[in-house]
Amino acid sequence: MIDLMGDWKRTDYCGNLRKTDLKKDVILMGWVQRRRDHGGVIFVDLRDRTGVAQVVFNPEVSSDVHKKAHVIRSEFVLAVKGEISPRPEGTVNPNLNTGDIEVIVNELRVLNESQTLPFVLEEGNEVAENLRLKYRYLDLRKPNLRNNLLKRYQAAKSIRSYLDKNGFLEIETPFLTKSTPEGARDYLVPSRVNPGNFYALPQSPQLFKQLLMISGYDRYFQIVKCFRDEDLRSDRQPEFTQIDMELSFIDEEDIFQIVEGMMTTLFKDVLGLGIAVPFPRLSYHEAISRFGVDNPDTRFGLELVDISDIVKNSEFKVFSRAIEKGGMVKAINVKGYAEASRKELDDLADFVGIYGAAGLAWVKVSQGKWNSPIAKFLSEAEKSYLSEALGTKEGDLLLFGAGKRKIINDALGNLRLKLADNLSLIDKDAINFTWVTQFPLLEYDEKEKRYQALHHPFTAPLDDDISKLEEAPDKVRSRAYDLVLNGSEIGGGSIRIHLRDVQEKVFKSLGIEKKEAEEKFGFLLEALQYGTPPHGGIAFGFDRLAMMLCKTSSIREVIPFPKTQKATCLLTGSPSKVNKKQLTELGIKLRAQLSD
């Protein structure tokens, strides 16, 4: 029989009880995590969002309550009245915050029952992710997910507090807005009152936060939902949360100082960790040169070395021909790994093939000799120069990639990550922040046969490079910057264009003609004429940051109700079909057959 709460009010949370509360009368409410019957005395681990408390039903205290407790099963919802007592000697549980006390129950109300769950909630039980997501409201009862969401809340609280103390205003921006140049990735919303027209859900509040700077709100932030219709990975979702910031009358140094202060405060508040500042900085060119990628993991070595000048005239034609064709040759010295087997080397060659590399040459330095199929093609002088450039010692394994620059950087940049993982070179407890700066402003899209903005078209070029926009757009460096944490880009931003003529030049370089620019960005171009201050900002992927704070491998572990990799919600069954009446009202007709 189900009881009503009546006039009972919870006095305490289960996980907050301590030995200092002995003799206190309490009312607890929560779920049955575990029930045990020991010689007539019934023990129940009662759980709420703060943790677990042991409650005891002893027939010597109340035979009626003890009899009623026999109906209790896992995940029943209970309310209990009782007195806090010390646990008997030998029964203390040091793994629980409440492990040295228990509640002796004198009254019980069963507020609801539970059917047998579709999976066990105990930690360590493997459950298929699709099943977990279908019953996410049950999955969220697990302590690990509860702790993740608590850390996420603490992170948001810390960030809001820090930005408030530094003069920022939290201002909301619209969700129903105009489609962006990257329109293929927009989620579109049809307008009923404007038939045939669509809103777009924002991929970022970018233009609105720039307009707020023009309006004079010189320090803005927002923890905001954004939307992007793209292929998903373990660290991406179709709807995601950003920490969005914009400031006026600043330069890059101001952004770096504010962000570094925010990160040190965040890691101290949430994890109790001290973070050294200032963060190291790398230009985009240096990051690509040394690590092959623009989000370098600096927790370990294995840096890439460009050896093109040493081997450009080599007898080994794979090297010399790659350089003749405008490519490059790079190498990695894997210290002490000369014992690698042929199968391991073949596996590494297969791995770089994923990124388009034609192969992977290798040399084992053993007993003072270079053991390799390519050794006979290298002169003694080349070996000497290579040894010096790579810091070669006895027992080292040298790996070489030759080909187009982008392919070799991608292949070897990802190879160093694989090697570090295989050889356990990464300190999992290290916190390595790195700024990457001065990205190229534009990149050429071979499919579209035109330049595209590497970040977005409102990023300012370096002052010294503005003159190159017409004659050498691929040489223009931007005032963009990314913050990288342990090899993951957690935030990116830039100093913005605040002059109309410069914005028009960038649009022109992107192949956006005046008519198209006026149609898509006329409101911005007009606004730039009315006293726009120099300004810039940055946005952080809050979900990804929370994932790293919680040390989880999937972003879905820090989101209450995530989507699958196919962008579906197994819990609610969305996206779903809608009826014809709804579509007719919106002026939409689909080719696919719809339900009535």
pLDDT-based confidence at residue 407 (cuts at 50, 70, 90): very high
The token pair at 561 is 């109700």
The token pair at 133 is 């997501």
At 423 the pLDDT is: 95
Spatial CB neighbours of 475, under 8 Å, sequence gap ≥ 6: 465, 468
Contact 465, 441 (CB under 8 A): yes
Q: Which of 112, 137, 165 is the last residue of a domain?
A: 112
The CATH number of whichever domain residue 380 belongs to comes to: 3.30.1360.30
Say whether pLDDT at 552 is over 80.
yes
Q: Does 520 map to a domain?
A: yes
Q: Does 225 map to a domain?
A: no
The CATH number of whichever domain residue 39 belongs to comes to: 2.40.50.140
In order of 68, 133, 472, 492, 496, the CA distances from 183 in angstroms are 62, 30, 27, 20, 21
At 592 the pLDDT is: 65
pLDDT-based confidence at residue 368 (cuts at 50, 70, 90): confident
In order of 44, 349, 418, the CA distances from 27 in angstroms are 15, 64, 54
Nearest-angstrom CA–CA distance, 149 and 154: 9
Per residue in 420-441, pLDDT (tens digit) is 999 999 999 999 999 999 999 9
Bridging pattern class, strands 480-485 and 433-437: antiparallel
At 183 the pLDDT is: 53
354 in the same domain as 455: no
Left if phi > 0, otherwise alpha if psi is -120 to 50, otherwise beta: which for 511?
A: left
Q: Does 24 map to a domain?
A: yes
At 184 the pLDDT is: 63
At 38 the pLDDT is: 84
78 in the same domain as 32: yes
Contact 58, 41 (CB under 8 A): yes
Say whether pLDDT at 594 is over 80.
no
374 in the same domain as 419: yes
Total count of domains within the chain = 3
89 in the same domain as 28: yes
Q: Does 28 map to a domain?
A: yes
Residue 471 sits in which domain range?
439-478+499-532
Nearest-angstrom CA–CA distance, 55 and 63: 15
310 in the same domain as 405: yes
In order of 40, 79, 163, the CA distances from 51 in angstroms are 26, 15, 31
User: For residue 225, which phi and psi values (nearest 5 degrees)?
Assistant: -75, 135
Q: Which of 60, 77, 112 is the last residue of a domain?
A: 112
Least confident of 110-119, 231-240, 276-285: 231-240
At 295 the pLDDT is: 97
Q: Does 574 map to a domain?
A: no
At 535 the pLDDT is: 98
pLDDT-based confidence at residue 450 (cuts at 50, 70, 90): confident
Say whether pLDDT at 382 is over 90.
yes
Strands (E), 74-176: 77-86, 101-112, 169-170
444 in the same domain as 382: no
DSSP letter for each residue of 413-451 = HHHHHHHHHHTT---TT---EEEEE--BSEEEETTTTEE
454 in the same domain as 399: no
384 in the same domain as 335: yes
Nearest partner of 528 among 499, 506, 560, 502, judged by Cα: 499
420 in the same domain as 520: no
- The stretch 52-61 carries a mean pLDDT of 96
Mean pLDDT, the chain, rounded, equals 94
422 in the same domain as 468: no
User: Which position has the higher pLDDT, 50 or 593?
Assistant: 50
Share of the chain above pLDDT 90, in %: 86
- The stretch 48-64 carries a mean pLDDT of 95
Q: Does 240 map to a domain?
A: no
At 389 the pLDDT is: 97
Quick one: DSSP state of residue 116?
Answer: P
At 59 the pLDDT is: 94
**pTM value?**
0.90
Left if phi > 0, otherwise alpha if psi is -120 to 50, otherwise beta: which for 525?
A: alpha
Per residue in 305-354, pLDDT (tens digit) is 999 999 999 999 999 999 999 999 999 999 999 999 999 999 999 999 99
> Cis (ω within 30 of 0) for the bond into 575?
yes
Say whether pLDDT at 224 is over 70.
yes
Say whether pLDDT at 232 is over 80.
no
Q: Does 161 map to a domain?
A: no
At 180 the pLDDT is: 66
Nearest partner of 200 among 175, 225, 229, 173, judged by Cα: 175
- The stretch 560-575 carries a mean pLDDT of 93
420 in the same domain as 312: yes
Q: Does 404 map to a domain?
A: yes
Nearest partner of 259 among 544, 543, 540, judged by Cα: 540
DSSP letter for each residue of 263-296 = HHHHHHHHH-----SSPPEEEHHHHHHHHSSSS-
Question: Which letter, b or e, does each residue of 488-512 get, where b requires 16 or more Cβ atoms within 10 Å of its Cβ?
Answer: ebbbbbbbbbbebebbbbbbebbeb
Say whether pLDDT at 374 is over 70.
yes
